[in-house]
Chains A and B, each alone.
Chain A
């Protein structure tokens, strides 16, 4: 295939970022705007000082033009994240439940809308980093349970899954190949070769 290797096995982080930008987020517009029809989505009527839900990418553009203020999602503050962090440490066999795009959303909001956040950005940044590391360590431990048929790691976000997906898929493929070798009933079976030899010349 013509795609480079890393495209074949998983998404690029940039692509996941792109997907995350579709999430809806609440904004507080500073000006009123008429609705705009775009491909795939519409920008609804914006009334100043009235909250509205729009996709994140639109919100970031409006924010860059200083036309609105972004309301951070309920999970993006130190208290909630710290509680999740403690939960991670308390239950070493489980992941705490975080939103599907928590890494991408938090990164984008921290870089582009840090003044809208309720707590100091550097605090949030550090706790996000801690959370990410703790979950990474846990997922590494969880991968020790790999077998060829089945792997269950609940509550991982898309970015984290994407990181381990290529590795896990390869290992499981190989394990499956190995175990398939002995499952066949007749050992004279040559059907793994797709070309047939005919001996009668």
Chain B
């Protein structure tokens, strides 16, 4: 029945609303749907040619056109499902960019190490999209220079200095209070502004 593959696609999108990470791009399924739509298009053309040749259609009677109509509806349906799937994934990508996730690698739980395999979950078009969108955000942020970081924490801060523990090796950071060598499992008492981004990216853990 026409529209079954499209339904599977939409069901996949719906399932991924429950997940924290973005699942694999359904390239194959989408190709199937596009093929199905192309078949429908060919059928539509064939039917319209038949109509013109046989001239059976009377002025108001649409019965013979019904088959045409149904193919047309099926095509519209496929288009709608494809667009909704793309749009949903694009929205997730936007959400990821605002969280400063520039690489497109998504993880199952926050704080877990990203696995190399997860990088395949995006289509190369989606990676382009993520990159360009990140650029847009950076450019927009430039207007405010240093005084405001739009991608920073949304919760209002409580303290100026906080305790952090290092989860992964980052190297050294330079602050006005000195140079900190951030090796794994060490703890520091640092100014919140300096380390906010690192916390967001998962390298440090706030205590």
Contact = CB atoms under 8 A, between A and B. Distances in A.
Contact of B155 (A1, A14, A197): A14
Interface residues of A, number: 13
A199 B156 contact: no
Contacts, number: 30
Contacts of B180: none
A55 to B, nearest CB: 14
A199 B65 contact: yes
B94 interface: yes
Contacts of A15: 155-156
Nearest to A13: B155
Contact of A7 (B69, B72, B154): B154
Contacts of A1: 91
A2 B48 CA distance: 45
B98 interface: yes
A43 to B, nearest CB: 18
B95 interface: yes
B62 interface: yes
Contacts of B44: 201
Interface string B76-99: 100010000000000100110110
A171 to B, nearest CB: 21
Nearest to A195: B76
Interface in B29-45: 44
Contacts of A18: 156
A12 interface: yes
B164 interface: no
Given A15-B156, A199-B62, A2 B73 contact: no
B94 A197 contact: no
Summarize B's interface: helix, strand, loop or mixed. Answer: helix
A4 B92 CA distance: 10
Nearest to A19: B156
Interface in B136-151: none
A14 B156 contact: yes
B105 to A, nearest CB: 18
Given A2-B95, A14-B156, A15-B156, A199 B69 contact: yes
Most B Cβ at <10 Å: residue of A12, A18, A197, A201: A201
Contacts of B68: 201
A195 B65 CA distance: 20
Given A197-B73, A197-B76, A201-B72, A2 B156 contact: no
Given A2-B91, A14-B155, 17 more contacts: A2-B94, A2-B97, A4-B95, A7-B154, A12-B154, A15-B156, A17-B156, A18-B156, A195-B76, A197-B72, A197-B73, A199-B62, A199-B65, A199-B69, A201-B44, A201-B65, A201-B69
Interface of A: 1-2, 4, 7, 12, 14-15, 17-18, 195, 197, 199, 201
